[in-house]
Copies of this chain bind each other. A is one copy, B any other.
Amino acid sequence: MKVEVMKNILGANDKIAEENRRFFAEKKICVMNLMGSPGSGKTTLLEKTLSKISEKIKVAVIEGDLFTAKDAERIERHNVPVVQINTSGGCHLDAPMIQKALSSLDTDNLNLIIVENVGNLVCPAEFDVGENFKAVVLSITEGDDKPLKYPLIFKESEIVVLNKVDLIPFTNFNLDAAKEDLTTIHPGVKISEISCTKETGLDDFCDFILKKVNEVM
């Protein structure tokens, strides 16, 4: 019975996700759905990315959080339009939430919308919001066993950011093993090794995004 209920919810979500997708295609807006565990570094990655790409293209951000507008406040300082969605305890963003948030954005003047999903390595991967591509951030400090333990999110994402690589020396993270597991789960997946504090690897990530934006323009 629980499966049946799940199917109904997902069916309703997929319908709106398709509406969103058509809307984005019409407006030639590229949409990235950025996912990852709490504290994997999504917002910091976003801040660093915005400072590199916001002069080249027109970007807006949709922030998903259970409560608080802490992340949206951080993004706002970078002078890009930002909409905060509070899920009031909900563990993921869904397509209707994104559709509703769009009314607060000037979608006639946008090349890219970055959706920062709720911090969660499980549920967000199950909900299509109509995005062009999904990205997942995995922090080194989470451990190299996570791709095999949470395969769906890595299978769904076109790019995996291995974040906080500056902390590798202080952990037992095996970079080669992690990359091998990622490639087993998702052959051909793009892997980007980044340290936001040391500002390494960011250009690689930004180039990937800009290429995706160009494909839509």
Q: Chain A: how many interface residues by the 8 Å CB criterion?
A: 36
Q: Within 8 Å of chain B (Cβ to Cβ): is A11?
A: no
Q: Determine the chain B residues whose CB is within 8 A of the CB of A38 once the complex forms.
A: 37, 121, 142-143, 146, 149-150
- Pairwise interchain contact B39-A148, C-beta atoms closer than 8 A: no
Identical chains in the assembly: 2
Q: Determine the chain B residues whose CB is within 8 A of the CB of A66 once the complex forms.
A: 122, 149-152
Which residues 108-167 of A have a CB within 8 angstroms of B? 118-123, 126, 139, 141-143, 145-146, 148-152, 164, 166-167
Complex Cα distance A149/B117, Å? 13
Complex Cα distance A119/B167, Å? 21
Complex Cα distance A118/B141, Å? 17
Q: Determine the chain B residues whose CB is within 8 A of the CB of A141 once the complex forms.
A: 39, 139, 141, 164, 167
